């Protein structure tokens, strides 16, 4: 995988997983449905994976 494709993938990961985590937080706050809290860690783990991909691309560049 090239450096530019890693950076592009990490940018997409930041946007997608931030939307998942923040969307779950917002839905949990507005609806009060407790099961939505289980979705939030998925967004957090994906956000950390996007950071790891970004660091890997930055170190290689």
The conformation of residue 38, written as its DSSP 8-state character, comes to: G
R_g (Cα) of the chain, nearest Å = 14
Instruction: Report pLDDT for 34.
Output: 87
pLDDT (tens place) for every residue of the chain, 61 residues total: 787 888 888 888 888 888 888 888 899 899 988 888 888 888 888 888 888 888 888 887 7
What pTM did the predictor assign?
Answer: 0.69
| DSSP letter for each residue of 43-61 | HHHHHHHHHHHHHHHHHH-
Which residues make Cβ contacts (< 8 Å) with residue 22, sequence separation at least 6? 43
Instruction: Report pLDDT for 11.
Output: 85
Instruction: Report pLDDT for 13.
Output: 83
Instruction: Report pLDDT for 30.
Output: 93
């Amino acid at each position: 995988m090239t450096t530019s494709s890693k950076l592009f993938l990490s940018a997409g990961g930041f946007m997608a997983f931030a939307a998942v985590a923040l969307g779950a937080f917002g839905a949990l706050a507005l609806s009060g449905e407790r099961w939505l809290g289980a979705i939030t860690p998925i967004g957090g783990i994906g956000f950390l994976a996007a950071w790891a991909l970004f660091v890997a691309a930055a170190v290689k560049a």
